[in-house]
């Protein structure tokens, strides 16, 4: 990830989503106690706030919620929630954009009102703000993050490049996150529970076949295999499944010009490149990579060169 994008995240949601308007100046729905300090926050009754059905985060740790509730009892809610007004057809009140953990913990702490900033934003902006807020706090597990990216792609038409710019993440990070959704459901469950690491999950994707991924995932959990060991097993599995080329198609010994070209490509791309001559005017170029991150970097360079 480049330094400028990290700095962009540090400026907060308003900087990342310049189209988001200032806090709403309209009156709150009837029956809501409201106080508006000069910083734009207001106090809203807890029962008038509703979680967003599109909340990127799906898991809330009870122990951590209890810790946060204890902190709120003594210190109060330091950072206001971000909400949007719901239409009367949706039952009125407010929908959470950011701060569901604080809202849940406030209820455990016995609070009846919470500080909040009301934003007049469209559903697309609301979801994007929720995703970015969770990413800033590193509150999402890898699958929640991937599902959030996928929703922005499918429902709102974002490209991976646009996602990278909007959430302040490197494009390869976004691409690797989306790949996790190709894992079988049982393997995704192990990842969500923390029994598999991101490194394990990304190595498993090299198998491509769901049954093979599930089998190796069980071995990882049972044998506590390291990521490097899993990568080695995946590499052996893939090498063993390759179909040998017919003798007539076997590459010949590289000529001097082919070796020279291979050396120049290796220097340019920063990874081993082979030029394989099959016939007088036919051949293959083999570009070696050793990780998904390196593959993404190579693809980025080749497609944008």
Domain boundaries, the chain: 21-120, 183-239, 251-303
Assigned architecture for domain 21-120:
Alpha-Beta Complex (3.90)
CA 146/CA 55 separation, integer angstroms = 13
Strands 113-118 and 94-98: unpaired
Residue 248's pLDDT is what? 45
Q: How many CB atoms lie within 10 A of CB 88?
A: 9
User: Given this model, what pLDDT does residue 247 score?
Assistant: 45
- The total number of residues written for the chain in this structure: 305
CA dihedral sign of residues 80, 133, 150, 237: negative
pTM attached to this predicted model: 0.47
Hey, how many other C-beta atoms are within 10 angstroms of the C-beta on 180? 22
Taking the C-alpha atoms of residue 104 and residue 139, their distance in angstroms, rounded to an integer, is 15
Residue of 95, 100, 128, 274 marked active site: 100
Residue 285 has which token pair?
């170029």
Q: What is the pLDDT of residue 231?
A: 92
Residue 110 φ/ψ region, left for φ over 0, alpha for ψ in the -120 to 50 degree band, beta for the rest = left
Contacts (Cβ under 8 Å, ≥6 apart) of 274:
254, 262, 285, 286, 288
Q: Which whole-number Å values give the CA distances from 158 to 54, 124, 127, 164, in the listed order? A: 17, 11, 13, 10
Q: What are phi and psi of 95, to 5 degrees?
A: -110, 135
Catalytic (active site) residue 100: yes
Distance of CA 123 to the CA centre of its chain: 19
pLDDT in tens, the chain (305 residues): 444 443 333 334 343 333 433 434 333 443 333 444 444 688 999 999 988 776 666 667 788 788 888 888 888 888 888 888 887 877 888 888 888 888 888 999 999 999 998 988 877 777 777 777 666 565 677 888 888 888 778 877 888 888 888 777 788 888 888 889 899 999 998 988 888 988 899 999 999 889 999 999 999 998 888 999 999 999 988 877 554 444 444 445 677 787 788 888 888 888 888 888 776 677 888 888 777 777 777 777 777 65
DSSP for residue 197:
-
Give which of 192, 187, 223 is closest to 203, Cα–Cα.
Answer: 187
* pLDDT of amino acid 45: 92
Q: Which two tokens stand for residue 36?
A: 């508006």
Pairing of strands 113-118, 81-85: parallel
């Amino acid at each position: 990830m480049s330094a400028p994008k990290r700095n962009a995240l540090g400026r907060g949601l308003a900087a990342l989503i310049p189209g988001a308007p200032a806090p709403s100046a309209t009156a709150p729905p009837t029956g809501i106690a409201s106080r508006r300090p000069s910083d734009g926050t207001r106090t809203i009754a807890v029962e008038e706030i509703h979680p967003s059905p599109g909340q990127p985060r799906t898991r809330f740790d009870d122990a951590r919620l209890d810790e946060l509730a204890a902190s709120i009892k003594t210190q109060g809610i330091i950072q206001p929630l971000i909400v949007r007004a719901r239409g009367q057809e949706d039952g009125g009140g407010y929908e959470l954009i950011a701060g569901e953990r604080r809202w849940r913990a406030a209820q455990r702490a016995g609070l009846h009102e919470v500080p909040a900033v009301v934003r007049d934003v469209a559903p697309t902006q609301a979801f994007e703000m929720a995703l970015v807020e969770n990413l800033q706090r590193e509150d999402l597990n890898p699958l929640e993050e991937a599902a959030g990216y996928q929703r922005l792609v499918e429902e709102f038409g974002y490209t991976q490049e646009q996602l990278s710019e909007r959430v302040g993440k490197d494009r390869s990070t976004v691409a690797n996150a989306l790949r996790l959704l190709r894992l079988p459901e049982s393997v995704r469950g192990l990842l969500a529970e923390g029994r598999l690491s991101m490194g394990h999950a990304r190595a498993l994707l090299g198998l491509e076949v769901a049954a093979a991924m599930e089998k190796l995932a069980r071995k990882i959990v049972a044998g506590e295999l390291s990521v490097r060991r899993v990568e080695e097993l995946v590499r052996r599995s893939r090498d063993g499944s390759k179909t040998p080329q017919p003798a007539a198609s076997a590459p010949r010994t590289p000529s001097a010009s082919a070796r020279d070209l291979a050396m120049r490509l290796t220097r340019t791309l920063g990874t081993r490149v082979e030029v394989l001559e099959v016939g007088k005017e036919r051949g293959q170029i083999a570009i070696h990579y050793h990780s998904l991150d390196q593959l993404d970097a190579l693809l980025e360079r080749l497609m944008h060169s």
